[in-house]
Structure 1
Amino acid sequence: WFCTRTIRSVNILNGVLFLNKICLMCSVRVSVEGDRIVCTIKFNASMGSPQKPCVCVVCLSPCACVCVCVFCTLGRLLKYFPKNVLTAGENAAATSSSHDSLGPVSAYIGLFSSLSVASTTSSRAADITSSSSAVASTTSSRAADITLTSSAVASTTSSSADDITLTYSAVASTTSSSAITEGAFCSANVSAVSRDPADWPEVLSGKERAGLVIRGPSDLNPNFKFPKRQDGRSFHFHYKFRLLTNGEKIQRTWLVYSMKSDAVFCWCCKLFSKGSSKLITEGQRDWTNIGAILKQHENSPAHIKSVVSWKELELGLKKGQTIDHTQLTLTEAEKRRWREVLIRLIAIIKSLAERNLAFRGSEDKLMVPNNGNFLKEVELMAKFDPVLREHIRLADKQGNHTTYLGKTIQNELISCIGDQLVKTMVAGIQESKYFSIILDCTPDVSHTEQMSVVARTVSLEKGPEIKEYFLGFLDAPDSTGAGLSSLILKRLEELGIPFSNCRGQSYDNGANMRGKNKGVQARLLEKNPRALYVPCGSHTLNLVVADAAKESIVAINFFGVVQKLFTLFAAAPQRWAILKDHADITLKSWSDTRWESRVKSIEPLQHQPEKVREALLQVRENTKDPTVRIEAQSLAEEIGSFRFQICLVVWYNILRKINVTSKLLQSATMQLDVAVDLIHQTKASLVSYRATGFNDAVKKATERCEEMNVQALLKEKRLRTMKRHFSYEAADEPESSALKKMEVSFFNVVVDCAIQTLEDRFSSMGKVRDNFGVLNNFQNLDTQTIRYQCEQLGRTLSTGNESDLDWKDLVMELESLPTLPKDKMTALELLAFLHDKDICELYPNLWVALRISCTLPVTVASAERSFSKLKLIKTYLRSSMAQERLNALAIISINHEVGSQLSYDDVINDFASKKTRRARI
């Protein structure tokens, strides 16, 4: 086995190769070939038997052969191993030309090569058998140690190079009386094996046998009264001792009594012998002749052999010198190596996933171009990290297919990381108890409807803190209210999150979501009436602006001009360059649905209208296309008009007010009471703006027209005259200025519509907030009002016989609450106040009510943000990505805070358990 192998940590003393109590009485020749130290073994039968008997590392018995093999003597191998295995070994040795000169030693080499392959019993086609040679050096006065590499024999016909079963070539006989299976010397679990030998199984495993040896035979109580038979005879304690001729007594430690069968057994023979004696099989109960039976048994060769095997195994287990000890040492070293490799691979995967980068390239091999970000990161880290450097070196060795760098292992590790993050988030939700769900849907690049699931809860780990957890995307083929509601309920059940603890739900304003009869919110309310529905505040604000813009023809024309400006300049790089030369702020396109974001589109016109107009005039002069020249001229005249400048100022002021509110509402920590206050402030600001806003806009527009050297005049519309008939006294159209008409037909219409729509669309949010209003304003309410509002809150949080709080106790808690640091505090601030003062247990109902109030969502912005990640992860080039991989990558990318606390050990353990290896990593 060691011929032409690279040798490490071998001591050569007096021509004998010592390997952890394994000696080879042979000639050893060490030579240097290039960068390798080669040890050649030549069998020498004339050297005779060893001076001192060697100890076999399998059975711990003295060996009587001339040359001791790596695991056992040739004689014991012929006895232990099946005929077909030996034949395979002999055939391998006979056909191996490189070992012809070694004689019997070559048979050992061929035998163990066959055993390494034959001992692999894994049912998986992708398992790889790895045999490692145990090496230990003896102490020597000379510091002439040579290193021996643990040789790994890998043989597989797997279709996947990423799966591996680590199996060490431990030899365990099924027929030997002293064979031990791997791992038996210290990790035996014999709690299931009874102390009564009558209850032992017919065939004991190696772990059970080793555990029983460590525990030892059970002793008898001298005062125990043994049961008597009908003839009055019974076992007696004095049979536990053997009486010698000189009168001394020797205890028979091997003799044990079975209370179950009222019989005695030979403890060691039952463990190590296969005899048919009653002392081994069913127990001896012949109390008449028991003395003679015991005397005859203890002098039998089989009993003596069993006692010797027992004592040798016991001594070996205590000293840790069995084959299992060496094997376990190698196993632990291999486990540590693979664990270190996996830690680095997990870190690389996590880093790539957090940055939404692709993993694979056109090649799946190391050290080749276009092999993807994952393998490039491995190569880069290997330049500075010795663990990955050694791993790549082993991966490059011919025949070694175990790398853990393939696409299958990538997917499995990504899945394990995602699963661990989900487990952490679910544990946080379950600990907080109350939660709300936020849902939104969008199609991805492969035209699959993806539903984003976000859970909102109040974490109490370090203090009250609102957290929103992204739980993944769900493929939603059925976008009806029934389909989406059943999909989310099924997902919550899979995660182990009880829907009965849901206290809030928030969606966009789609009919399938907010429908009162068949929408998602209506169907979930049927399941849980305490899951209060709160429409998305940002979507509602968007509808407010959209409704206002549709009320006036002037407003519609204004946004049409702004869009034409962007289209003209963006159509050609030369025109865009002209715009950049004149204006510091470039034009931006807008979203067709997010109206409040249009403030960014009109911002350049608001701050630099004259420069945009100059750019249009230069485009008109430089272009030869008549269509472009006419359009540029038309847009320049439109921007320079007094009417456009008035619209620009009005819309900028309205959109800016609404955009600020919308951005604040989109915060993950926004609370319902704060959101409603913001809406009221926005409404009050619009009401105030209606009174003076138009005059301010006219003044600002006049100044800009003067800067552009254009007249600040509105074209007067020709008055309509009515055709007069005889005796018809109808008046002509009343005379009024053009500014007055614009104020009435444009400014008042837009602002009034925004104010009214704001009040109507946020009424449902206001109703939900009113249920919890007592928590924010109880200091300014009288006792009767507090009592009424607490009763309303108690009804809201009750269903059937279940209730989240006792409203009567809540009234008393509010009245006895200590002085607050501020006159008005938000729900989260009041929650933090109770936590900091450590008086939560004094106000349990208030504590629960505040937690539920903070749990209620305000917008679906978190779900909308997940769609941005979706577009970065599932791109056109990655459109065939599976749903499971997409989910895991999105969870890693979005939940940064949870990912920073990820335990790599948990991921590795989960990965190992899913792989169901015989040797755990």
Structure 2
Amino acid sequence: MKRQEKLTNFFSTEPGTVAEGDLQTSSTQQDGAESPPIIETLDECDSNASPAVKKPRLAFDPMDIGRFVRKSSSLHAPLTEEERFKALTDCWKPDEHYQFPKVLESTRTRAFQHHYLVKWPWLAYSEMHGGGAFCKYCVLFARETSDQRGPNFLGVLVAKPLNKYKKALDILKNHERCQYHCEAKGKAEKFLDWYNDKVGHDLRNRLLAARGEQVKKNRQGLVPIIRTILLCGKQNIPLRGHRDDGSLSAVDGNNNDGNFRALLRYRLDAGDRLLEEHLNSAKKNATYVSHTFQNEIISTIGKIIRRRIVAEVKVAKFFAVLADESRDVGKTDQLTVCLRYVGGEDNQHVVKEVFLKFSDVEEKTGSGLARSILGVLQEEGLDIRNLRGQGYDGCSAMRGSNKGAQAEIKAVVPQALYFHCASHCLNLALVHSSELAAIRLVAGSVANVCAFFSNSSKRTRILQDQIERLNSSNSRKKRLKTLCMTRWVESHQAFIAFKELLIPIVQSLLELEQEVGETGARSYELLSAICKCQFVTSLFIIESFSSLFLPLSVKLQAKELDIFAALDLVDNVLLVLRRRREAAIDGFQQILAEVTEVCDSLEIDIRMPRICERQLNRENHPADSSEEYFRVTSYIPYLDSLIDGFISLFADARQGALKVQCLIPKFAVRSSVTDLHPAIEFYESDLSCSVNVAKAEFERWRAKWMEVPQNGVPASAIDALNHCPAADFPKINIL
């Protein structure tokens, strides 16, 4: 198994002012060697130290030209054609707001100038090797020695960066006239021309026109095969069968050779001439219908999709990463990595949430998961420095404030704020509330009853008959739903369905109780569990809140939802819970009225348990009536637990949203300039301006919405962005 890299291999020290002597030291290192980090690595840090106090580090861009300088050294493997093409066409280029590090030369400080990149297109700046400029053409295509006599190895702009700028203009002008540069430029232009049309520039195809025609014909023959693979992928149709080798015409009735080969035969029967001609004329080892070719096509399609996603993310610049770890059927721990960013559709900004790839997890610690996440982003060519958000579940390895994955990544990119998944928070609030004995027992009994009926078609049919006989006109629910620990929407629906079908369930169990054997005994046990006033009361209490949480759970999983809208939904539900707590007596009376009606139908007595001086196994609150007892022991504790869970579990998300909440027009009209100060300080590196400039722009932004009626003011981040032109409000647009 391939050994994972250390987390610090992705990072460098942050660029700053460097002395001339330090630059000379770094530039005289062996060609291709990176400048060693001057900060301690994560593995070398004190294990008890908090990542919050570690010095922030920045990652090199995956397309930094310095990476190709190292690879082009004779000590390393040569560059591939794809790497050369990417380096020429997609090399990292600092934007116009980038702050180049200043270099102390004699008594003056100088820095690389952005207009150099505009004047000389072959020039590229690198943050590696101590920082400096390289010639893209010469790095990728120049020979090792210059055109002068003697072993004069190429240095500045080729093997070493240009990092002294006193005579930079003269050096660049002279380099442009060098013979080896002109040769490298010619090679680069020819390479691009060839790479974009490999078939047309193949010498064999030029000499033999018939061969070129055969290449095009072979490609056309692959089109039906590739389209069939795409169809299976889009429709979630498995490709493979018991045996999927041999000729398509050789059909074995005893073995199923899979959907892919069956669809190809279907195309042949439908008259696909291209496919028929390809299969008839191709050699047996070149039909391209084997499982090996299927895997190659699927892998290539995945690369193309990921390349398009990364291209969209680079246009958006900033992005967030969503990750979750789980074990697949092959007992392999897989890390699912998704990206969330702002894209464009129909000239409007929209929130996009897309799956990127799976990654094997070798180490499930915080640092190991952080390495896996950053490694995936690095492999796909994303700049980690533009990571602005993290979304994971609440396990300690992910959310730990000291050694969790989010803390390790924040030590690298401090602006990458962590947000606990809102749906996970809601589920945890419900899980914590179910720790009450009465609520926990109801959940267990509901799960047992659902499993009892779903395990037998005969029991299911009996239940369906009872539903049609008793509840055909009173309920829309026609079947039970099983409780699911991960799909929380289904859990809410399960309690709602069980409450509506309680009478048919009891009647079905009474009928099954008469049978001999395990079915009768199990039916008796389940009847004893659910035919109690404590169970019915707790079930109706849970159902009354499930009806409240069901729409919230659905909305919290919407990909277009932002943190502000999510908190609004949570606050709305929290307000309802608090009002129910204030009116607990009246609210529980309504529930008890429904409980009484159902218990009368099932001949269940509503009475409170016997009260004694000392009780360890159940609630023992003194009460004057059964209504007061169940309200004090079940309804109010369940309600209090829900309120506490909502307040505590969503507190971190609320704190993170406060940094930029004042930018939303809904909140901006009643915010002051001082409210924006924390966000300006936190995102100072993104804004590249003084505090006063950002504050002045916010004042104009707020004034714009002061004149707009309240019902026309955007209330979400994406709506605000669509009303914030970058030309008029560049800093607000970034935030």
Q: How far apart, CA to CA, are the structure 1 residues paired with 2:495 and 2:627?
A: 22
Q: Could you say what secondary structure the match of 1:364 adopts?
A: coil
- The answer for the alignment partner of 1:380 in structure 2 is 266
Q: How far apart, CA to CA, are the structure 2 residues paired with 1:733 and 1:548?
A: 19
- The answer for the alignment partner of 1:742 in structure 2 is 630
Query: Are the structure 2 counterparts of residues 529 and 569 from structure 1 closer, same or farther at C-alpha, using a change threshold of 3 Å?
Result: same
Q: Given the alignment of the two structures, is residue 616 of structure 1 paired with residue 531 of structure 2, yes or no?
A: no
- The answer for the alignment partner of 2:197 in structure 1 is none
1:795 to 646, 667, 681: 681
Matched-pair contact (CA < 8 Å) for 2:666–2:715: no
1:565 to 439, 449, 457: 449
Q: How far apart, CA to CA, are the structure 2 residues paired with 1:635 and 1:682?
A: 34
1:353: Cα distance to partner?
A: 1.8
Matched-pair contact (CA < 8 Å) for 2:714–2:720: no
- The answer for the alignment partner of 2:661 in structure 1 is 773
2:479 to 569, 574, 586: 586
Query: Are the structure 2 counterparts of residues 734 and 420 from structure 1 closer, same or farther at C-alpha, using a change threshold of 3 Å?
Result: closer
Q: Given the alignment of the two structures, is residue 364 of structure 1 paired with residue 245 of structure 2, yes or no?
A: yes
1:678-697 matches, within 5 Å, as 678-690=569-581, 691=583, 692-697=586-591
Matched-pair contact (CA < 8 Å) for 2:537–2:595: yes
Q: Given the alignment of the two structures, is residue 826 of structure 1 paired with residue 716 of structure 2, yes or no?
A: yes
2:301 to 397, 417, 437: 417
Give the counterpart letter for 1:505 in structure 2: Q
Q: How far apart, CA to CA, are the structure 2 residues paired with 1:804 and 1:482?
A: 35
1:809: Cα distance to partner?
A: 3.5
- The answer for the alignment partner of 2:212 in structure 1 is 332
1:813: Cα distance to partner?
A: 2.9
1:560: Cα distance to partner?
A: 2.2
- The answer for the alignment partner of 1:843 in structure 2 is 729
Q: How far apart, CA to CA, are the structure 1 residues paired with 2:598 and 2:320?
A: 50
Query: Are the structure 2 counterparts of residues 598 and 464 from structure 1 closer, same or farther at C-alpha, using a change threshold of 3 Å?
Result: same
Q: How far apart, CA to CA, are the structure 2 residues paired with 1:714 and 1:646?
A: 11
Query: Are the structure 2 counterparts of residues 658 and 341 from structure 1 closer, same or farther at C-alpha, using a change threshold of 3 Å?
Result: same
1:636 to 503, 527, 552: 527
1:655: Cα distance to partner?
A: 2.2
* Number of aligned residues: 506
Query: Are the structure 2 counterparts of residues 814 and 327 from structure 1 closer, same or farther at C-alpha, using a change threshold of 3 Å?
Result: same
- The answer for the alignment partner of 2:357 in structure 1 is 472
1:747: Cα distance to partner?
A: 0.8
Query: Are the structure 2 counterparts of residues 700 and 469 from structure 1 closer, same or farther at C-alpha, using a change threshold of 3 Å?
Result: same
Matched-pair contact (CA < 8 Å) for 1:481–1:513: yes
1:804: Cα distance to partner?
A: 11
Q: How far apart, CA to CA, are the structure 2 residues paired with 1:804 and 1:379?
A: 68
Matched-pair contact (CA < 8 Å) for 2:205–2:212: no
- The answer for the alignment partner of 2:153 in structure 1 is none
Matched-pair contact (CA < 8 Å) for 1:582–1:615: yes
1:66-215 matches, within 5 Å, as none
Alignment deviations for residues 505-531 of structure 1 (CA, whole Å, 9 cap, x no partner): 010000000000000110111101111
Structure 1 runs not aligned, ≥5 long: 1-191, 193-322, 723-731, 850-921
Q: Given the alignment of the two structures, is residue 809 of structure 1 paired with residue 687 of structure 2, yes or no?
A: no
- The answer for the alignment partner of 1:482 in structure 2 is 367
Give the counterpart letter for 1:387 in structure 2: L
Q: Could you say what secondary structure the match of 1:450 adopts?
A: strand
Matched-pair contact (CA < 8 Å) for 2:668–2:702: no
1:468: Cα distance to partner?
A: 1.4
Matched-pair contact (CA < 8 Å) for 1:548–1:753: yes
2:388 to 503, 507, 515: 503
1:567: Cα distance to partner?
A: 3.1
1:590: Cα distance to partner?
A: 1.6
1:246-257 matches, within 5 Å, as none
1:737: Cα distance to partner?
A: 1.6
Q: How far apart, CA to CA, are the structure 2 residues paired with 1:752 and 1:777?
A: 34
Of the two structures, which has the highest relative contact order with CA contacts closer than 8 Å and spacing of 6 or more? 1
Query: Are the structure 2 counterparts of residues 614 and 511 from structure 1 closer, same or farther at C-alpha, using a change threshold of 3 Å?
Result: same
Query: Are the structure 2 counterparts of residues 801 and 720 from structure 1 closer, same or farther at C-alpha, using a change threshold of 3 Å?
Result: closer
Q: How far apart, CA to CA, are the structure 2 residues paired with 1:809 and 1:328?
A: 69
- The answer for the alignment partner of 2:402 in structure 1 is 517
Give the counterpart letter for 2:516 in structure 1: K
1:764: Cα distance to partner?
A: 0.4
1:615: Cα distance to partner?
A: 0.5
Q: How far apart, CA to CA, are the structure 2 residues paired with 1:407 and 1:721?
A: 70
Matched-pair contact (CA < 8 Å) for 2:492–2:549: no
Matched-pair contact (CA < 8 Å) for 1:602–1:652: yes
Q: Given the alignment of the two structures, is residue 543 of structure 1 paired with residue 435 of structure 2, yes or no?
A: no
Q: Could you say what secondary structure the match of 1:533 adopts?
A: strand
Query: Are the structure 2 counterparts of residues 733 and 419 from structure 1 closer, same or farther at C-alpha, using a change threshold of 3 Å?
Result: closer
Matched-pair contact (CA < 8 Å) for 1:716–1:737: no
Give the counterpart letter for 1:700 in structure 2: E
For the aligned residue pairs, the C-alpha RMSD in angstroms reads: 2.8
Q: Given the alignment of the two structures, is residue 667 of structure 1 paired with residue 526 of structure 2, yes or no?
A: no
- The answer for the alignment partner of 2:63 in structure 1 is none
Query: Are the structure 2 counterparts of residues 574 and 675 from structure 1 closer, same or farther at C-alpha, using a change threshold of 3 Å?
Result: same
Query: Are the structure 2 counterparts of residues 324 and 606 from structure 1 closer, same or farther at C-alpha, using a change threshold of 3 Å?
Result: closer
Q: Could you say what secondary structure the match of 1:376 adopts?
A: helix
1:545: Cα distance to partner?
A: 0.5
Matched-pair contact (CA < 8 Å) for 1:778–1:786: no
Give the counterpart letter for 2:657 in structure 1: R
Q: How far apart, CA to CA, are the structure 2 residues paired with 1:721 and 1:643?
A: 20
Query: Are the structure 2 counterparts of residues 554 and 800 from structure 1 closer, same or farther at C-alpha, using a change threshold of 3 Å?
Result: same
Q: How far apart, CA to CA, are the structure 1 residues paired with 2:367 and 2:524?
A: 55
Matched-pair contact (CA < 8 Å) for 2:391–2:421: yes
Alignment deviations for residues 693-715 of structure 1 (CA, whole Å, 9 cap, x no partner): 3111101111222333x245224
Matched-pair contact (CA < 8 Å) for 2:205–2:211: no
Q: Could you say what secondary structure the match of 1:583 adopts?
A: helix
Q: Given the alignment of the two structures, is residue 575 of structure 1 paired with residue 433 of structure 2, yes or no?
A: no
- The answer for the alignment partner of 2:98 in structure 1 is none
Matched-pair contact (CA < 8 Å) for 2:493–2:550: no
Give the counterpart letter for 1:509 in structure 2: G
Structure 2 runs not aligned, ≥5 long: 1-140, 142-202, 469-477
Alignment deviations for residues 50-104 of structure 1 (CA, whole Å, 9 cap, x no partner): xxxxxxxxxxxxxxxxxxxxxxxxxxxxxxxxxxxxxxxxxxxxxxxxxxxxxxx
Q: How far apart, CA to CA, are the structure 2 residues paired with 1:799 and 1:843?
A: 17
- The answer for the alignment partner of 2:592 in structure 1 is 698
- The answer for the alignment partner of 2:601 in structure 1 is 707
Matched-pair contact (CA < 8 Å) for 1:721–1:733: no
Structure label with greater radius of gyration:
1
- The answer for the alignment partner of 1:116 in structure 2 is none
Give the counterpart letter for 1:683 in structure 2: L
Query: Are the structure 2 counterparts of residues 803 and 403 from structure 1 closer, same or farther at C-alpha, using a change threshold of 3 Å?
Result: farther
Matched-pair contact (CA < 8 Å) for 2:482–2:490: no
1:526 to 411, 415, 420: 411
Matched-pair contact (CA < 8 Å) for 1:542–1:594: no
Q: How far apart, CA to CA, are the structure 1 residues paired with 2:508 and 2:690?
A: 64
- The answer for the alignment partner of 2:647 in structure 1 is 759
Q: Could you say what secondary structure the match of 1:442 adopts?
A: strand
- The answer for the alignment partner of 1:450 in structure 2 is 334
Query: Are the structure 2 counterparts of residues 502 and 636 from structure 1 closer, same or farther at C-alpha, using a change threshold of 3 Å?
Result: same
Q: TM-score, normalised by structure 1?
A: 0.52
Alignment deviations for residues 122-171 of structure 1 (CA, whole Å, 9 cap, x no partner): xxxxxxxxxxxxxxxxxxxxxxxxxxxxxxxxxxxxxxxxxxxxxxxxxx
Q: TM-score, normalised by structure 2?
A: 0.65
1:408: Cα distance to partner?
A: 2.4
Q: How far apart, CA to CA, are the structure 1 residues paired with 2:613 and 2:579?
A: 35
Query: Are the structure 2 counterparts of residues 549 and 326 from structure 1 closer, same or farther at C-alpha, using a change threshold of 3 Å?
Result: closer
Q: Could you say what secondary structure the match of 1:534 adopts?
A: strand
Give the counterpart letter for 2:380 in structure 1: L
Q: How far apart, CA to CA, are the structure 2 residues paired with 1:721 and 1:442?
A: 45
Matched-pair contact (CA < 8 Å) for 2:366–2:404: yes
